[in-house]
Structure 1
Amino acid sequence: MIIRSTCSFLLLLLFALPSTLWGQYTEADWKERDKWMKTEFLLDLMGVEQGNKVADIGCHEGYLSMHLSKKVAESGRVYAVDVRSDRLENLRENAHKRSLGNIVTILGDYDDPKLPERELDMVFIMDTYHEMDAHKKILQHVKSALKPGGKVMVLEKLKDWVRGKSRETQVASHSLSADYVREELKQAGFTIISEIEDHGKWERENDKQMWVIVAQKP
């Protein structure tokens, strides 16, 4: 009887959790995310246009990939990369529902997004860079995949309680400072061309500040 009551309580607790804890990347949240992440502004900042070849690293179920697909149109291509095949399957279903045929899904490795060499105009790494233990290797792969003059955008959130802490402490809280990423991009041979120190609040939560860095391959 005690076991049954405990199981029932845990199930109720699970379904009572905010959707952002276990569904922030699902299709149901996409329209709201357009607003708080200012997605159209970010795409305009990068200059995404018809015919571009772009990559979305850490694509999850395809939120950004769908936006990019529409922007680059039929003459362009979107490489959607994730390390989980179930997410890529969901992305393919989402793309099929929208009749988007210019998205190529890639099951990447944790240290290699497996992108084509010297083919891409832009790479987007949105709320994913902090998960990359092998960030130095990945940045080199990104650099190799970009054409000369190609750009990479990194968007992250910095949580108030880890501000000024070590990189390890920030990463453990699924957060990261722009200071660390800026230096890592420079060390990888990129030139910083644009920064937004405060892009708003991640999921409208006051203790999670978004920042954006755009860097360019020489």
Structure 2
Amino acid sequence: MLSMFKRLVMIAVVLAAASAGLAHAQVASPSQAQRKTSTPYTGDLSIFDSPGREDRLQINRVMDILGIGPGKNVADIGAGSGWFTVRAARRVTETGLVYAVDINPEAIRFIENRAEREHLHNVRPILSKADDPLLPANSVDAVLLLKTYHEVEKPVILLRNLRASLRAGAEIGIIDRNGNGENHGVGKNVVVREAAEAGYVLTAQYDFVKGDGMDYFLVFALKP
């Protein structure tokens, strides 16, 4: 009888441990949970140079807010055709640098050719990893992810890997549109939450980047 009781106790302990392990496995942290993302664009890169885009996004105002000026180093993450890269390169002048970061080899070749054609010698294309921009340490004063964040599969890891490249006082801008992740947009609150998990604090937010009310511009800095 005593032996049977011991066996029942042991079975109960094993079942309790298994149940606790299952419950722990089911409660994933925000960084582990996979949210929906959009498929990265791999089509005709020239579409990003549509007439009037500069005015619609008020990109000069964006650069003012991010402190992009002569002598600054800038990272354009998800650079695509280099639309923002070349504008930032002219703004920082030859005394600054712009790192054009993209995971698409075709985009990198496109930007290399564009920079050469436009005589911009301060552009440094980087073929990055999906979760790591591969920027040099302590190298950038400002970062912009322009309509790119919704395509990032592991945004928290990417933002964490970005941290080592940031100089003191660096600002990180994210321009995107509200959406569900897979419709080429992602909710503003999702971006703020993921950035906080990666060690950033929201310092400013704007809605002037397009008149339809769908786009937003968020500015982050490293948490103190």
- TM-score bucket of the superposed structures, by smaller chain: 0.7 to 0.9
Of residues 192, 208, 213, the one that matches 2:218 is: 213
Root mean square deviation, CA, Å: 1.9
Would the aligned equivalents of 2:157 and 2:198 in 1 still touch at CA under 8 Å? no
The structure showing larger relative contact order (alpha-carbon pairs under 8 Å, at least 6 residues apart) is 2
Q: Are residues 1:176 and 2:186 paired?
A: yes
TM-score (normalised: structure 1): 0.78
Q: Are residues 1:136 and 2:129 paired?
A: no
Q: In the alignment, what sits opposite 1:113?
A: 133
Aligned residue identity for 1:156: D
CA distance in 2 between counterparts of 1:182 and 1:86 reads 31
Please state how far the C-alpha of 1:94 moved relative to its aligned partner. Answer: 1.2
Please state how far the C-alpha of 1:104 moved relative to its aligned partner. Answer: 0.4
Equivalent pairs counted in the alignment come to: 182
1:28-75 CA deviation, whole Å, 9 max, x = no partner?
734421011111111111111111111000001100000110011111
Mapping of 1:140-179 within 5 angstroms? Answer: 140-159=160-179, 170-179=180-189
Mapping of 1:27-38 within 5 angstroms? Answer: 29-38=49-58
1:61-93 CA deviation, whole Å, 9 max, x = no partner?
100000110011111011101111111111111
| Stretches of structure 2 lacking an aligned partner (at least 5 in a row) | 1-42
Q: In the alignment, what sits opposite 1:16?
A: none
1:182-207 CA deviation, whole Å, 9 max, x = no partner?
11112222121110145324xxxx5x
Q: In the alignment, what sits opposite 1:43?
A: 63
Highest Rg: 1 or 2?
2
Q: In the alignment, what sits opposite 1:186?
A: 196
Please state how far the C-alpha of 1:147 moved relative to its aligned partner. Answer: 1.1
* Greater helix fraction, Structure 1 or Structure 2: 1
CA distance in 1 between counterparts of 2:119 and 2:173 reads 27
Percent pairwise identity: 25
| Stretches of structure 1 lacking an aligned partner (at least 5 in a row) | 1-21, 160-169
CA distance in 2 between counterparts of 1:28 and 1:122 reads 22
